[in-house]
Chains A and B, each alone.
Chain A
Amino acid sequence: MGDPQPTPPHPPTASPRALTRRSFLRASAVFGGGLAALAAALAPLRHLDDFPTLDQFLQKYYRELTPAEMERILRRIEAEVEREYGVRPQVRDVKPLTGVEYVYAHNLTRCIGCRRCVHACVAENNLSRTPEVQYIRVLRLPHGSLDMEKADHNYAPEWVPEPDHFYMPVQCQQCRNPPCVKVCPVHATWQETDGLTVIDYDWCIGCRYCAAACPYWARHFNFTRPSIPKGQLNPDMAYLGNRPRRQGVMEKCHFCIQRTRVGRYPACLEVCPTGARKFGNILDPESEVSYILKHKRVFIQLKEELGTSPRFYYYFDV
C-alpha cells in the first residue's frame, strides 16, 4: 500500500502542480506506454467482421414489431443473406394458424435408426455445417430399457437396425410447460399459440440458461459463426425458423415452422423411410396424430415426471 502520508510537505512558495519538464516527459511516457499496451491487447478486434450494424443493434423485439417494421427487417435480412451466400432467399414471417396445435408422434417399433431425419433437418433448416449443429439426436438403446445412461449416441454399424436394440430420436419436445421459456431472462424464447416454442435469434443474448434448463438437450448454441457452403442454402426461410443464425445465439427444432405453418410436413417426417414419424393437428379429431393418441395402448412422454408435458409422443405398434 505504501506510505499512508499522502500529503508530503511542500515549500509554501512552490506551486504544487507546477509542471517541470521532467515530470511532464515521465507522465507522457507512462501514458503513451499504457495506451500502446491497451491497443496491443485489443489488437484481435481487427479481425471482427460480424460487428452488428446500427440497424441490427437497435432492432426491436419480435413481438413489438409493427407489420411495416417487420417488412423492412425481412427485406434487410434477405439482402444480408444474398450478400453472404449469393442467393436471394425469401424470408417470411409465418404466423401460427388458428385452431391448430401441432403434435408429433414417433413409432419406436418402426424406427430403424438410419439418421436420415438428422441430415434432412440439417439441410432444411440451414444448420451450421462446421461446426455441425444438429437438432435431432438418435439414441440407440438396449432392448427393454429407457434408461438414457445406457444410450449409445455414436453407434456406427454397417447396417441398421441391429438386433437387441431400438432407436429413439430426440429433438425439441415442444413442451406445454417449457422450462426454457421460464428461465430466459429477456423473453427471447416463447411458446406460440400453435404450441411451437420459438426463438427470436436477434433478441437472444446467448446466456445459455435455457440450455441448462432443457431436460431434453434440445437447445443448441452457436459457439462461433455458423458456416454453410454456398449452394447448400435453403432459400425458403422463416424469421422464427430456418433463416441463418449469427454467432452467439441459441437455436433449436421448431417443427420446420417454414413448412408446417403453410400446410407441409416437417423435413424429418418426409425423409423417414419407414413411416415412423407422424405429425399433425391434435385439435382436429380426424388427424392421424389424434387417431394414434386415441387408439395406441401405450405411449410415452419423455421424462414425464418433470411435468414439462411434451407435445412429442413415442408409441409402439402393439
Chain B
Amino acid sequence: MNRAIRNYLVFLGRCSRIAFAGDWRYYAWMGVLTVFCLLGLNAYAKQFVHGLLVTGMTDEVSWGVYIANFTFLVGVAAAAVMMVIPVYIYNNEELHDLVIFGELLAVAAILMCLAFVTVDLGRPDRFWHLIPGIGQFNFPASMLSWDVIVLNGYLLLNIHICGYLLYCRYQGRKPAKWFYIPFVFIAIVWAVSIHTVTAFLYVGLGGRPFWNSAIVGPRFLASAFTAGPALIILALQVIRRVTAYRITDKALLTLRSIVQVSMLINVFLLINEVFKEFYSGNLHVASSKYLYVGLHGYHALVPWIWTAIAFNVIAMVLLLLPLSRSLRWLNLTCVLCIVGIWIEKGMGLVIPGFIPTPLGEMIEYTPTLNETLICFGIWAFGLLCYTIFLRMSVPILLGTLSQANEGRD
C-alpha cells in the first residue's frame, strides 16, 4: 500500500516537474498565458473590491459575458464525448489515444466554466452555501443546483478516466477494464446531461419568452458538437506539429464528419427557431427582433448575430464541399465554426433574453474593459491548464515518461 502511494507520488512529482521543462517556444507560450492570467487576476481583484459595478451588467441585463462564456464552454466540455463514442461504441482505432486529448480538453473547459461562474458571483466569499451538506442546497428545485452537481461530477469522471489511463500507460500495464469502461459510458450520458441541464437553466424561466423554448436544449447540443470537435481538430494539429506524437489525417477527417453533421443540424434548428419566432408574429418576438433586426432603434447585437450566421453558413457549405478535406480549408472551417457558435450561443443567447426587460424597457449591454480582461484571464488560465495537461500526457503516451525510466531525470 505504502509502496503504491509512493509510486503514485513519484509519478505526480515527475509530471509536475516536466510541466516546467520545455524549449523556448514552450516558455514563450506559457509566459504569454501567465501574463494574461495575471492581468485577469488583477482585474478580478478590482471587481472583488468594488463589486460587479465594474462590469457592464445592470439590473436590466443582469447576466453578461461571463455567463455567455460559461454557456459556450459547457458545450466544449460536453463535446469530448463525440470522440469517446466512436472509440468505445464503434471501436474506431484512429481515434483511440486521441480520446485522452479530448477528455483533457473537457477538464480544462470545466475548470474555465467554474471560474466563469465564480467571477459572476456577487458574494464569492459565500460559495460554501452551495456545498451540499454544509450549505443549503436547493436540490432538485433549482436548475443551478443541478448544474453544480453535473459539472463537478463530469470534472471528476474525466479526471478519473484520463488520470487512470495515463497512470497505467506510465506504469506500462494494461488498464483494468472494469475500472474505467463503466465510467466511460457514464461520462457519455453525463456529457449530454451537462449541456442539457445548462440549457434547462434558461428554458425553465417562464418570464423570459426568448429562452422559454423547447428547442434551446437540442440547439445547445448541436452547436456544442460542432464547436467542440472543431476545437479538438485544431488542438490535435498543434500537438502533431510541436511534439513527436503521431496523429493521422484520417483521425482528423473522422472528426470533420462529426462537425459536418452537427453543423447541418445546428443550422436546421436555427431555421426552425427563427421561423417560429417571426412567422407567428406575437408579442413575444421582441427579443428576437432586437437580436436579428434591432428594436425601437436599439441594435447593438445585430452585426454580431449576422456575423455568426454568416460564419455558420459558410462553414456549413465548406464542410459539405470536398474542399474541406484539405487541412488548410478544414482549419479555416473550424475557426469559422468556433467563432460563429461562440457569438451565437454566448452573447447571442444570453443578452437578448434580458432585452427588453420584463417591463418593456430597452437597456443595452456592452462589456467593460475590466470585464473583458477577466474573460481573457480565464481563457488564458484554461489554455495554461490544457497545455500543462498535454505537456504531461504526450511524453507518457509516447513512452518517454514512464516508470521504466524513473530516477534518470
Q: Which residues of A contact B (CB under 8 A)?
A: 1-7, 10, 16, 37-38, 40-45, 47-48, 51-52, 57, 61, 131, 137, 139, 147-151, 153, 170, 179, 182-188, 203-209, 211-217, 220-225, 246-250, 303, 306-308
List 11 contacting pairs A-B, 8 Å CB cutoff, sorted by A. Answer: A7-B400, A43-B45, A45-B45, A61-B129, A153-B360, A183-B142, A183-B205, A185-B142, A204-B123, A216-B359, A217-B359
| Complex: chain B residue closest to A203, CB-CB | B129
- Complex interface: chain B residues within 8 A of A10 (CB): 408
Q: A205 to B126, Cβ gap below 8 A?
A: yes
Residues of A within 8 A of B144 (CB): 183, 185, 207, 209
Question: Are the C-beta atoms of B41 and A41 separated by less than 8 Å?
Answer: yes
Q: How far does the alpha carbon of A205 sit from the alpha carbon of B157 in the complex, in Å?
A: 27
B122 lies within 8 A of A222 (CB): yes
Report Cα–Cα, A217/B362, bound state, in Å.
13
B58 and A223 form a contact (CB under 8 A): yes
Q: Quick check: B122 and A186 within 8 Å, CB to CB?
A: no
For residue B235, give the distance in angstroms from its CB to the closest CB of chain A.
11
B43 to chain A, nearest CB (A): 9
Asked if B103 lies at the interface with its beta carbon under 8 angstroms from chain A, I say: no
Encoded as 1 (CB less than 8 Å from any A CB) or 0, chain B from 87 to 100 comes to 00000000000000
Q: Which residues of B contact A (CB under 8 A)?
A: 18, 21-23, 25-26, 38-39, 41-42, 45-46, 48-53, 55, 57-60, 62-63, 117, 120-127, 129-130, 135-138, 141-145, 148, 201, 204-208, 238-239, 242-245, 283, 286, 353-354, 356-361, 387, 390-391, 394-395, 398, 400-401, 405, 408-409
Q: Which residues on B sit within 8 Å (CB–CB) of A48?
A: 48-49
With A139-B359, A185-B142, A225-B51 in contact, is A7–B243 under 8 Å at CB?
Answer: no
Chain B residues, CB < 8 A from A220:
59
B395 touches A4 (CB 8 A): yes
Q: Separation in Å of the A288 CB from the closest CB of chain B?
A: 27
B49 engages A184 (CB within 8 Å): no
Residue of A nearest to B18 (CB): A6
A204–B138 alpha-carbon span in the complex (Å):
12
In the bound complex, how far is the Cα of B376 from the Cα of A215, in angstroms? 33
Task: Name the contact of B400 in the complex, choosing from A4, A204, A221, A250 (C-beta under 8 A).
Answer: A4
Complex Cα distance A55/B394, Å?
48
Docked Cα-Cα span, A41 to B204, in Å, equals: 39
CA distance A135 to B23 in the complex (A): 59
Residues of A within 8 A of B201 (CB): 209
The reply to whether A187 and B42 form a contact with Cβ atoms under 8 Å apart is no
Give Cα A103 to B242, complex, Å. 69
5 additional A-B pairs beyond A203-B136, A209-B201, beta carbons within 8 Å, are A3-B23, A44-B48, A131-B53, A207-B122, A214-B358
Task: Determine the chain B residues whose CB is within 8 A of the CB of A183 once the complex forms.
Answer: 141-144, 204-205
Residues of B near A61 (CB, < 8 A) are 129, 135-136
Q: Using known A-B contacts A7-B409, A42-B41, A48-B49, determine if residue A206 contacts B22 with beta carbons closer than 8 Å.
A: no
